[in-house]
């Protein structure tokens, strides 16, 4: 308990109680963000506008021990997820490339260079997006849409798979950017 009190005192002096678990309710917690409920970063209506027929957002607690707050909305074809955590290291681009690496075939040379990584202005302090349709022959293993944004010391990752697959690219990008902008404003 003394070490927790010392850590909180030091974190307060450094303005970092967001990064150190200063909650008596859960001393195991390692991250605090502007909200303790990632589902509050988007309303169910906002998600339904982009993904008609989506269910209400539900909190997923499975990664909280790692400091990642997660909310998921089931869509008619997949799910849409928002994760929020402290931006401790790396850049928005590093985070995006790491997330996309799970959707590309590592046995096909140069497939990573085929992914269109797009910098987006006006969303948080920094934001990037990648949206690709599945092309197993070309090395894209699944429909993938990932947007990473950061505001201050908080980072959000929005992702889905086939939820955007039926749309033309420009429409899908616009829809995903809208959600990213709304999340970034509330981080």
pLDDT average per 10 residues of sequence, the chain (187 residues): 32 28 35 68 95 95 94 94 92 94 90 91 94 91 94 94 80 92 93
Q: Would you give the DSSP letter of residue 15?
A: T
Query: Which backbone phi and psi does 69 adopt, to 5 degrees?
Result: -95, 130
Query: d(Cα 19, Cα 171) in Å, to the nearest integer?
Result: 37
Q: Which residues contact 53 (CB under 8 A, 6 or more apart)?
A: 75, 76
């Amino acid at each position: 308990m003394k070490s927790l009190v010392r850590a909180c005192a030091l974190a307060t002096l450094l303005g970092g109680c967001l990064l150190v678990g200063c909650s008596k309710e859960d001393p195991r917690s390692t991250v605090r963000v502007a909200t303790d409920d990632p589902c509050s970063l988007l309303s169910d209506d906002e998600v339904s506008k982009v993904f008609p027929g989506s269910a209400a957002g539900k909190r997923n607690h499975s990664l909280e021990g790692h400091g990642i707050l997660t909310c998921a909305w089931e869509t008619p074809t997949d799910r849409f997820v928002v994760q929020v955590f402290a931006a401790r290291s790396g850049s928005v681009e590093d985070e995006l490339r790491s997330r996309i690496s799970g959707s590309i075939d590592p046995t096909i040379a140069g497939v990573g260079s085929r992914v269109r990584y797009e910098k987006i202005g006006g969303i948080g302090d920094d934001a990037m997006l990648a949206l690709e349709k599945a092309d197993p022959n070309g090395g894209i293993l699944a429909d993938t849409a990932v947007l990473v944004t950061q505001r201050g010391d908080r980072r959000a990752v929005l992702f889905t798979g086939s939820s955007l697959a039926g749309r033309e690219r420009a429409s899908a990008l616009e829809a995903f950017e809208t959600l990213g902008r709304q999340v970034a404003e509330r981080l």
